[in-house]
């Protein structure tokens, strides 16, 4: 008898001597996102349009697994504010990169967010509509944060954010 189960290959990341440097770099990126999103990005109508999909006073987290850096936000009205920590029962969406290597690939723009998801480097806990809205939200944040020539590589569909 043959098994009808689909075998999913286990992704193994090469151990690098630079994990400390990569973790430091990823921490800087997470800190930058934690500052940039509430202060700058959420003042743009194109970014605010993506926030309407999240319920008011809801929490969402973006980070790196295995004690890596992370940032948690709370949606309040049309704005987002960075918070220290949320109760896991109140968090409606958690998006984690599975390793520092995965975060390094995404944060050095060798891979877009969509490519990271397709390659199995993201772990998402939450409802699909929230996950899709979060990825669109992050794409718009990257477009605002990065120079155009880098943003075109980092984001699958580069569009001007209003």
pLDDT digits (tens, 9 = 90+) for 103-140: 999 888 888 888 888 899 999 999 999 999 888 888 88
Listed by start position, the domains of the chain span 44-154
What pLDDT is recorded for position 118? Answer: 86
Predicted local distance difference test score (pLDDT) of residue 62: 92
Q: Residue 9 — very low, low, confident or very high, per pLDDT cuts 50/70/90?
A: very low
The residue with greater pLDDT, 155 or 8, is 155
Q: Which DSSP category does 141 fall into?
A: H
Residue 6 pLDDT level (bands cut at 50, 70, 90):
very low
Place of tokens 């999913």: 8
pLDDT higher at 145 or 74: 74
pTM over 0.85: no
Query: How many C-beta atoms surround the C-beta of residue 159 within 10 A?
Result: 10
Q: DSSP class of residue 30?
A: H
Q: 10 exposed, middle or buried (CB, 10 Å; 0-12, 13-18, 19+)?
A: exposed
Residue 97 pLDDT grade (very low, low, confident, very high; cuts 50, 70, 90)? very high
Of 11-25, 59-73, 85-99, 135-149, the least confident: 11-25
**What does DSSP assign to residue 68?**
-
Tell me which fold the domain 44-154 belongs to.
Nonspecific Lipid-transfer Protein; Chain A (3.30.1050)
Predicted pLDDT of residue 1 = 47
| Residue-level pLDDT at 17 | 65
């Amino acid at each position: 008898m043959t098994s009808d189960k689909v075998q999913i290959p286990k992704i193994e990341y090469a151990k690098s001597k630079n994990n400390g440097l990569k973790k430091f770099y990823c921490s800087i990126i997470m800190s930058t996102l934690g500052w940039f999103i509430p202060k700058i990005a959420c003042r743009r109508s194109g970014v605010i349009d993506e926030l309407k999909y999240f319920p008011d006073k809801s929490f969402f987290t973006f980070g790196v697994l295995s004690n890596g850096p992370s940032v948690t936000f709370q949606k309040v009205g049309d704005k987002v504010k960075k918070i220290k920590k949320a109760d896991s029962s109140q968090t409606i969406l958690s998006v984690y990169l599975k390793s520092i290597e995965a975060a390094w690939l995404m944060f050095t723009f060798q891979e877009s967010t969509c490519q990271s998801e397709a390659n199995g480097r993201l772990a998402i806990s939450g409802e699909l509509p929230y996950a899709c809205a979060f990825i669109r939200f992050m794409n718009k944040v990257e477009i605002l944060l990065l120079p155009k020539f880098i943003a075109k590589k980092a984001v699958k569909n580069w569009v001007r954010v209003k």
